[in-house]
Amino acid sequence: MLSSFFQKYHITPNDTLIIACSWGPDSMYLLLESMKSHDPKHLVVAHFNHSLRWIESDEDEIFLREFCMKHSLVFESEKKDIAKIAESLKKSIEETARIERYAFLERVREKYSQKSPEKQWNVHEDCVSKWGVLKSTMKPFSSPSEPETCKIWMESSRFAEIFILTAHHLDDSIETFMFHLIRGTKIQGLTGVPEQNGHILRPLLSIQKKEILQSLDRDSISYRLDSTNADDAYLRNHLRLNIVSQFERINPEYRKNLGAFMEYAKEVASFIETQVEIFLRGETSFSVEDFQVLSPFMQREVFRYLYARANNGTIGLSEGAIAEMIRFTQDKGNYTRKDLGKLHLEKRNFRVYSAIIISS
């Protein structure tokens, strides 16, 4: 099931996989599929206990720990009172849970990165010496003259790596799509859940929830359902239970169609981003004269790109804010400054310079 995905990301049986697992059906399916290709010594089951369901949360952890012991799997867990943390931070429980969960997964990754023995080259030392390899970056100082030889060499010379896998599936991606659409977003927000985010990979995004449940039931695999998933007080649950669920009445194939649209949106977003990068030419500044030649659409996209890079996304970026940045660029004053979130803009000598504000 995961073979094509692993091939896409060059994941081998020697790479370590950290499986984010809750004992729910999605993560159990991901864990079992991963066990088909990887030896237990290359799998780490990472469980984050949110303490939101009291004894149920603790039982999930206990059952999952016992499963890992039975199958000789490494088990890592952490327990935090998410409701209490959310209250102190004045954030929603959903956002706090997401932040704390991913922070935990990254700590697990760092732990096993440090534990890993010195990574070995899968290439003969003579080859390393001949082509002059910078081991810290895996890039050759000079390439072989024969392209085919170079290709074979590059494919064979790689380190074992550590990846975090999460069990987000197509239904999750559609919920994210709808969530962004309702809150207001640009094309980038209509691409659903990203397949990759740094060391985090999501192999199940093309699979529907019902397919996962059918597979587990067919193989008589036990799992536990999160009782909070039925509580529509949580915004995502409300969206899934009361809004997205109605789409099936209109078209039972809506998941497939929305999945295809999200793939199309990814291609459009990628094209736009490439055009912006061509305009910026790898610089953090641009000429006011060159900017004025751009179409109004591309002018907006330049500032969306700069804002997203500085603020790790476009949340909080309104059309009004973009218009304000464009007016700043067109202002007759030649020595002006403007901040928007963590994006710092400065105009001088008929150029606009951008920088990221580092919080003290």
User: Which tens digit of pLDDT belongs to each residue from 248-295?
Assistant: 899 999 999 999 999 999 999 999 999 999 999 999 999 999 999 999
In angstroms, how far is the first alpha carbon of the chain from the final one? Answer: 47
Identify whether 264 is part of a domain. Answer: no
Res 134 pLDDT > 70 = no
- Backbone angle region of 349, left / alpha / beta, with phi > 0 → left and psi within -120 to 50 → alpha: left
pLDDT confidence band for 137 (50 / 70 / 90): very low
Looking at the structure, tell me whether residues 130 and 111 fall in a common domain: no
Looking at the structure, tell me whether residues 28 and 11 fall in a common domain: yes
Identify whether 234 is part of a domain. Answer: no
Identify whether 51 is part of a domain. Answer: yes
Computed on alpha carbons and rounded to an integer, the radius of gyration of the chain in Å comes to: 24
pLDDT confidence band for 159 (50 / 70 / 90): low
Question: CA 47, CA 44: separation in Å to the nearest integer?
Answer: 10
**Prediction pTM value:** 0.78
Looking at the structure, tell me whether residues 150 and 219 fall in a common domain: no
Looking at the structure, tell me whether residues 14 and 106 fall in a common domain: yes
Task: Please say which residue of 229, 256, 274 terminates a domain.
Answer: 229
Looking at the structure, tell me whether residues 207 and 352 fall in a common domain: no
**One-letter amino acid of 208:** Q
Looking at residue 333, its pLDDT comes to 73
* Short-list 265, 239, 12, CA closest to 119: 12
Identify whether 261 is part of a domain. Answer: no
Number of structural domains the chain divides into:
3
Looking at the structure, tell me whether residues 133 and 78 fall in a common domain: no
Looking at the structure, tell me whether residues 143 and 99 fall in a common domain: no
Question: CA 79, CA 53: separation in Å to the nearest integer?
Answer: 12
The alpha carbon torsion through 180, 183, 188, 193 (nearest 10 deg) reads -20
Looking at the structure, tell me whether residues 100 and 225 fall in a common domain: yes
Looking at the structure, tell me whether residues 88 and 105 fall in a common domain: yes
Question: Domain limits at 142?
Answer: 125-156
Identify whether 246 is part of a domain. Answer: no
Question: CA 277, CA 49: separation in Å to the nearest integer?
Answer: 41
Looking at the structure, tell me whether residues 65 and 208 fall in a common domain: yes
Least confident of 114-123, 176-185, 189-198, 314-323: 114-123
Res 189 pLDDT > 90 = no
Contact present, 336 and 349 (Cβ < 8 Å): no
The percentage of residues in the chain with a pLDDT greater than 70, rounded to a whole number, is: 85
Identify whether 262 is part of a domain. Answer: no
Bridge-partner residues for 17, per DSSP? 43, 163
List, for residues 284-310, the tens digit of each pLDDT value. Answer: 999 999 999 999 999 999 999 999 999
Least confident of 45-59, 128-142, 234-248: 128-142
Looking at the structure, tell me whether residues 24 and 108 fall in a common domain: yes
Identify whether 341 is part of a domain. Answer: yes
50 φ, ψ (degrees, to nearest 5)? -80, -10
* Short-list 142, 121, 146, CA closest to 132: 142
Bridge-partner residues for 74, per DSSP? 44
Bridge-partner residues for 163, per DSSP? 17
Looking at residue 180, its pLDDT comes to 86
Looking at the structure, tell me whether residues 98 and 11 fall in a common domain: yes
